[in-house]
Structure 1
Amino acid sequence: MKTTCAYCGVGCGIRLSREGDNWQLQGDEQHPANGGALCVKGASLLESLAFPDRLLYPRWMGQRIGWEEALDTLAERFAAILAESGPGAIGIYLSGQLTTEDYYVANKLMKGYLGSANVDTNSRLCMSSAVVAHQRAFGEDLVPACYEDLELADLVVLTGANTAWTHPVLFRRLQQARARRPELKLVVLDPRRTMTAEQGDLHLALKPGSDVTLWNGLCRYLLDVDGWDKAYVAQHVSGFEELSGALDNPAWQLDEVARSCGLSRSDLIGFYQLFARTPKTVTLFCQGINQSNQGVDKANAIINAHLMCGRIGKPGAAPFSMTGQPNAMGGREVGGLATQLAAHMGFGEAECDRVQRFWGSPTMVRGPGHKAVELFEAVHRGEIRALWVLGTNPAVSLPDGNRVREALSRCELLVVSEVTANTDTARLAHLLLPAAAWGEKSGTVTNSERTISRQRAFLPLPGEARPDWWALTRFARRLGFGEGFAYEHEHEIFCEHAALSGFENDGSRQFDISGLAGLTRAEFEALSPLRWPVNADWPRGRDRLFEDGRFATPDGRARLLPLAQRFPEQPETPPLAGAVSLLLNSGRLRDQWHTMTRTGHVPRLQEAERGWGPPACWRLA
């Protein structure tokens, strides 16, 4: 049996075999993401399944109840709150650990039936900056590259990522390519001296938050040395005059950029020269770019440089946003964010009408809801009275944890779908619902390079655990929406999702997997990994986007954007005699995952190193 790893956005394929009562796990040599390789987290997935305090049945106020009572209670309480306070008083918080089918049902229920856009995901914390940057530059949230481009490039720039630890299998692919092709150069932009930085040909330890300055400086340099692609910009890009005018500023000259970024002039110009003379360049960026007060601008600054040089939609040339979770991309596809509808549609009148007609739903939200952090602030204020959390632990993972825990403790009705009762969020719940874990549930996930892969169940559901889409569907039926939620298998949900992606899609939306809408259940069960779009034009999927130089904007041109530098705000602190202000950067653990619910109890993952190199620390002027 083949399935997909439950951890990072690389989306590694896994092959399972059974020997007696024991399962054996290894990498899937035929999967396009990993070719059989696994990191230590993926290799230890079977060991992670013995969750402490596994949640095996629903609990109301700590007491065991059955599913019928749990769903009846849930429906009655939600219905009462809806009647008293309206759809703005309810919310759902999702996770990049869910399958696409889980995501789709939750989004459809909230936006098309309950009339609330207060449905968001923990993936917002890591990916929403890239989503908006893609929309601003390309007209749609589109990742143009595939992993093979890292192997075909002559220069790879890694920024905002310790890829050796966060996406180890992908980093291994890169290192193997460098071993085969010594001319492939690696530049690492990271304030910290990480394992990834140690492997680079050049490490630029730029000042934290100075990324826009560095990339604006590169764009200015490309203009100065005539290193940009005039023909490509003229044919396929808009906004050049505005950008070039904004770059005519002393702040983006070499010496000033070096000073602002805390870099030597020689290192900076070395990077700029290398970028300018290397047509086949991939810039891979991740959370160090996205998780910032200026994450969108940072991503657009990177995209600006690639568009100026025409380095996009070509083998070995692209800006490439890496996702952190196994299905952060799938959540974006189905509209699992408060700021969008399903199938890459927004809140325009025509789009709202289109989705409502497809769903045949009684209502449709007409604008965005509360985003992740805002959602919990609304809970804290009492504006959101009922909150359902699925597959994530916001009491630990959200910023300002004390305030989040206070908000959750104030919530009138907190429902948590989890595999264990032993999380900080689960301990605050009024109603706990036992969810199916990896290995027990089936569906699809989409990785960073747009590859849709199957997750397949190979273990029986323990106790009364059920898939999240099942719980959402049964809840919807109790609210009177049975016709729209008659699903009995994840295959039906996937096919509906695929059909919606092609509904009244005249090519204006590049996310289109309508070629999979007619899969039989047997074909769905046997589905092999493939990259979207999958439609009449691309029946076997597509490796790269924008190869023809046409983008998803109204005029078909990509957009260059003038950007200003904004450094992270520092808290006001009272002056102390002899005190020194410091900025600390913590990094992460290599072999642990998120809040450690899955990995924290696995002995061999606990034995891993807790850090590498000295802690990163800067003195603030």
Structure 2
Amino acid sequence: MERQSTASTCCYCGVGCGVLIEHDGRQILGVSGDPAHPANFGRLCSKGASLHLTGDPTARALYPQLRLGKTLARSRCDWDSALDHAAEVFARTIAEHGPDSVAFYLSGQLLTEDYYAFNKLARALVGTHNIDSNSRLCMSSAVVGYKRSLGADAPPCNYEDLEQSDCVMIVGSNMAYAHPVLFRRLEQAKSQRPAMKVIVIDPRRTDTCDLADLHLAILPGTDVALFHGILHLLLWEDWIDRDFIQAHTEGLAELKALVRDYTPALVAQLCGIGIEQLQQCAQWIGTAPSFLSLWCMGLNQSSAGSAKNSALINLHLATGQIGRPGAGPFSLTGQPNAMGGRETGSLSNLLPGHREAANPGDRAEVASYWGVERLPETPGLSAIELFEQLHSGRIKALWIACTNPAQSLPDQNRVRAALLKCPFVVLQEAFATTETAAFADLLLPAASWGEKEGSVTNSERRVSHVRQAVPPPGEARADWAITLDFAQRLERRLRPGLPSLFAFENAHQLFDEYKGLTRGRDLDLSGLSFELLDRLGPQQWPFPEGADHGTPRLYGDGVFPTPTGRARFVGDPYVAAREQREARFPLTLITGRLRDQWHGMSRTGTAAQAFGHVGEALLSLHPDDLRRQHLQDGDLVSLKSRRGSVIVPVTGDDSVRPGQAFLPMHWGDRFLKGGVNAVTQPAFDPLSKQPELKHSGVRLEPVHLPWQLFALVEGDVQARFQALRPLCESLAYVSLALTGRERPALVIRAAHLQAPESQLLAAIDQHLGLDAGPVLAYDDPRRAIGKRVRIEQERITAIRLAGETLARHWLQQLWLEGRADEQLRRWLLAPLSTPPQASGLGEPADRTLCNCKNVGYRAVQAGIAAGLDLGQLRQQLGCGSQCGSCVPEIKRLLATTAQPLAIPV
């Protein structure tokens, strides 16, 4: 078939970028930004630009698999057998233990139509509110903040406000990594309007801080104290809008009594910042013609997340900075359709159309609309509560869709134990390689990006039509179609003889029924349809019936969806994070994102290109803490919390303060034995139920693992990954990643106290293709050292070092350069594994700086040494000329040309 282009949206963060999918009707061939989409106007970040490289078919779930008994392996089955079995188990469980003995756990990556089908299934048919999503880990504190302060879960701003604001405050978000397309817009606005002030509040000095006029490196968890301290100064200096406060708000008197005690001296001490910094921040906010705040997980993932959100919104209400261009509180959604999930009721406390499950009137409205007698009254379980009940045995059957709780939830040892205890776990998932897949009794293959149709809502309330470009592989089906098929089979068992609640044939029909539940609500979608979106393009809600355009901003009239029509000042006192530094756990672990990876790496982890910038999990510590612990870069440590431990290499990093440690959130057990969330804590906010993933008390213990393993093999990387990962399970430290671009390869680094049985190495060699053929080998049994290199057509295709791995960087660089010279052959036969010093290649292999143009650090540094500036580097090397995500690092290299380039080991 001829090459075609289909307009759709990106499936990563909540920016909601439009993409053009290039395909031939059978497979996706490329991707580019959609210049007509108002969320991005053709821009894409490094993740979006490489979408077509993800989703390796060998990583996909292609057909249903069923396990009859926890000790057995799953076997392939047909759809009828799979769904009939699931319906029978759920019906029997409900009959024996009641509807609340089953639960559904969804994802912020589903389409709106998928959410709606699941909500109707859980609440109208099963009769349970036990339906939650991983948005609980992402945006639920923002939901509470908006509802308490403004009356509805409705971000009032739009993306144009980034370019129109005079003062932008970014809080708890490495926006340069998490929402790069929006960050580029802000960067461009700042360059065109240098007087714009940018404030960044983050414990770490991230790439986002490079744009800041003021960086407040507050101590983790002290945001409420900071916001109260800023409000204290706004009130003291009379930098407030008295007319707006009097006409449109309530509750300031009570809040003033609270913040009176948050003096500059106290707040500076609590937050670990200077009084002058605090005063400068307050002055810019209080005197700016327009003030915009942007935030993400650093505020939300906290046991005080709701208080942090409301305390931030208080600043906007006090200054009247809401409802007009360049002003307002603006949460940056973490997932592509977490907004759509909130709109359809896919949190256990919500119902479709921004209704409350606890509200009898709301329940009656939805029940009447669906044609059922009533909805359940018992409150549903949020994510952490759900898995606690799974562990205790109350939940007997769990349906998981498009999410990976065996990687993403905190306290992983308990989560995995809970999944093992559950009698019946269904996983509806596109990727068979996720950590959760191992726990599924029934695996149902789902369609993925580019393979399904529906709608999504982005951070600025903009609804886009997601179009299908190619059919899903194998027997995979759209999520809504799987859900409806199961629901129809279940209702024949639970409601025999009654008309079906699920007589839908396509996503259009699901959307059309759902939007009726929004009519007259704050998020009115009644005027939208797929046809209208195709004709007018993506639209912001509310978009009531009869409208011809969406609503760019909310609350411009000063009327809020509260009982009184007034916004509320909310006064919660500062409460410290649940785990503070103490003698047994003297470090605070904070988590965050990498530039080119996303969430649990279910998708990005299938693309070798995504590992070019950072190739393994590294624990970042301030250099003073490294010296204090007598550690060097690359040393292995056991990172321990009250819940578990993980072995990980350390690296010095002065972007974190002494007493803190940073570990990227993405590394699950598949890539790093144990995974990051083995140590994070499940303590959650009492209102939003969002866990405090960002803040855990930890300690370090050096580990001595003298026997080491390094392996690299190209070709069939996903199949080799699946075969080799279980073989490494018995080793103390295991790290797996991909590398390369044109020649993707799997890289394994492992360590153990002593050499394993020879059978293990033999099995590893077999899967590496090092057991036969053109393989050069050297073994020293006395010292347990072994070397294997496969050379085909004068090119290295596989490597295995065992015992010690000093030559791994040198060998990986030879592999990258596609050469196998005589020096390599001489080294292979030498007793020592140390790389030849004359080669100059004993240092770490080059890392990718610019993913879009495949430009490495060394090329950029060579260009800088030759006198090139940023513009010339863009022109000659191409770096920074496409998505721009690498620009902050290039600027830092330009600023430190006299310093040697440090490439982490």
Which bracket does the TM-score occupy, shorter chain normalised? Answer: over 0.9
Match of 1:92 in 2: 104
Residues 419 and 526 (structure 1), Cα distance of their counterparts in 2 relative to 1, 3 Å cut: farther
The equivalent of 2:871 in structure 1 is none
- The 1-side partners of 2:468 and 2:175 are apart by 29
What pairs with 1:332-343 in structure 2 (closer than 5 Å)?
332-343=342-353
For the 8 Å contact 2:581–2:587, the answer to whether it is kept is: no
Aligned twin of 1:551? 560
Out of 153, 158, 166, the residue aligned to residue 141 of structure 1 is 153
Q: Which amino acid aligns with 2:401?
A: L
- Cα deviation for residue 525 of structure 1 reads 5.6
Pair 1:3 & 2:14 matched = no
Relative to the length of structure 2, the TM-score reads: 0.65
Please list, as runs of the form range in 1=range in 2, the aligned pairs for 1:344-355 lying within 5 A after superposition: 344-346=354-356, 347-355=358-366
Q: Secondary structure at the match of 1:585?
A: strand
Pick the aligned partner of 2:569 from 554, 560, 563. 560
Give the structure, 1 or 2, with the largest relative contact order (CA under 8 Å, sep 6 or more).
1
Q: Which SS does the other structure have where 1:568 is aligned? A: coil
Q: 1:488 aligned to 489, 501, 505, which one?
A: 505
Q: Map of 1:164-563 to 2, 5 A cutoff? A: 164-249=176-261, 252-346=262-356, 347-480=358-491, 483-502=500-519, 505=520, 509-516=521-528, 519=529, 522-523=531-532, 528-536=537-545, 538-563=547-572
User: Deviation string for 1:91-110 (max 9, x for gaps)?
Assistant: 00000110000011101111
Pick aligned residue for 1:24 from 14, 20, 30: 30
3-state SS of paired residue (1:485): coil
SS in 2 for 1:164: helix
Alpha carbons of structure 1 residues 81 and 146: separation in structure 2 relative to 1, 3 Å: same
Do the aligned residues in 2 keep the contact of 1:246 with 1:562 (CA within 8 Å)? yes
Contact 2:230/2:278, CA 8 A, preserved across alignment:
no
Counterpart of 1:616 (choices 656, 663, 675) is 656
- 1:247 is displaced (CA, Å) by 1.8
Q: 1:260 to 1:112 in 2, by over 3 A?
A: same
Q: 1:103 aligns with which of 115, 127, 130?
A: 115
Residue in structure 2 matched with residue 33 of structure 1 by the alignment = 39
Shift of 1:601: 2.0
Is the contact between residue 518 and residue 524 of structure 2 (CA under 8 Å) also seen in structure 1?
yes
Preserved contact between residue 586 and residue 615 of structure 1 (Cα < 8 Å): no
| CA distance in 1: counterparts of 2:95 and 2:138, whole angstroms | 35
TM-fit CA distance, 1:133: 0.8
Aligned with residue 598 of structure 1, among 600, 603, 606: 603
* Aligned partner letter, 1:582: L
Cα deviation, residue 32, structure 1: 0.9
Separation in structure 2 between the aligned mates of residue 17 and residue 478 of structure 1, nearest angstrom: 37
For each residue in 1:419-449, what CA deviation from the matched residue of structure 2 results, as whole angstroms up to 9, or x when unmatched? 1221111111110101001111111111100
Distance in 1, matches of 2:321 and 2:656, equals 33
Q: In structure 2, what residue type is equivalent to 1:330?
A: G
Identity of matched residues, %? 46
TM-score norm. by structure 1 comes to 0.95
What do residues 360-413 of structure 1 show as CA deviations (whole Å, max 9, x unaligned)? 124412242000111111111110000000000000100001110110011011
Residue 55 of structure 1 aligns with which residue?
61
Q: Secondary structure at the match of 1:319?
A: strand
The question of whether the paired residues in 2 share the 8 Å contact of 1:282 and 1:320 is answered with yes
Q: Deviations over 1:568-619 (max 9, x none)?
A: 122797x57xxx8122324321111111110012111110136895362443
Tell me the secondary structure at the aligned position of residue 435 of structure 2: coil
Which is greater in Rg?
2
Matched residue count: 607
Q: Distance in 2 between matches of 1:499 and 1:321?
A: 27
Distance 1:549 1:210 in 2: 30
Q: Deviations over 1:74-121 (max 9, x none)?
A: 100000000000011000000011000001110111112211000000
In 1: Cα distance, 2:353 partner to 2:610 partner: 37
Distance 1:49 1:224 in 2: 56
Write the distance in 1 (CA, Å) between the matches of 2:249 and 2:440: 51
Q: Secondary structure at the match of 2:350?
A: coil
> Pairwise CA RMSD of aligned residues?
1.8
Say whether residues 1:71 and 2:104 are aligned partners.
Answer: no
Q: Is the 8 A contact 2:420 2:439 kept in 1?
A: yes
* Structure 2 CA distance for aligned equivalents of residues 336 and 103 of structure 1: 6
Residue 272 of structure 1: CA displacement? 1.1
Query: Does structure 2 conserve the Cα–Cα contact (< 8 Å) formed by 1:113 and 1:362?
Result: no
Aligned partner of residue 49 in structure 1, secondary structure: coil
- What's the secondary structure of 1:93's corresponding residue? strand
Per-residue CA shift, 1:330-389, capped at 9, x if unaligned? 000000000111110113121111111111124412242000111111111110000000
Cα distance in 2 for partners of 1:119, 1:500 equals: 18
Find the counterpart in structure 2 of residue 151 from structure 1: 163
Structure 1 counterpart of 2:586: 581
Shift of 1:22: 6.2
Residue equivalent to 1:13 = 18
Is this contact kept in 2: 1:586–1:616, CA < 8 A?
no
1:484 Cα deviation from its structure 2 partner:
1.2
**Native 8 Å contact 1:190 1:206 kept in 2:** yes
Q: Write the deviation string for residues 266-321 of structure 1: whole angstroms up to 9, x where unpaired.
A: 11111111111103010101100000010000010010010011100010010111
Find the aligned partners of 1:500 and 1:389 in 2 and give their Cα distance: 25
Does the 8 A contact of 2:580 with 2:588 survive in 1? no
Alpha-carbon separation, structure 2, partners of 1:537 and 1:214: 45
* Post-superposition CA distance 1:5-53 (Å, at most 9, x none): 0000111000134469763311011111111000011011111022433
Aligned 8 A contact 2:174 2:208 in 1: yes
DSSP 3-state at the match of 1:279: coil
Secondary structure of the structure 1 residue equivalent to 2:59: coil
How far apart, in 2, do the equivalents of 1:427 and 1:456 lie?
A: 31
Instruction: Specify which structure has the higher proportion of strand.
Output: 2
- Residue ranges of structure 1 left out of the alignment (5+ in a row): none
2:139 — aligned with what? 127
Partners of 1:572 and 1:190 in 2: how far apart? Answer: 18
Closer/same/farther in 2, CA of residues 345 and 22 from structure 1, 3 Å limit: closer
Distance 1:462 1:527, change over 3 A: farther
Letter in 2 for 1:206: I
Give me the whole-angstrom Cα distance separating, in 2, the residues matched to 1:355 and 1:117.
13
3-state SS of 1:616 partner: coil
Structure 2: tracts of 5 or more residues without a match: 1-5, 68-73, 621-652, 661-696, 698-905
Distance 1:401 1:526, change over 3 A: farther
Q: Does structure 1 conserve the Cα–Cα contact (< 8 Å) formed by 2:128 and 2:376?
A: yes
Pick the aligned partner of 1:570 from 579, 592, 615: 579
Residues 521-549 of structure 1 show CA distances to partners (whole Å, capped at 9, x for unaligned) of 65566562010000147441100000000
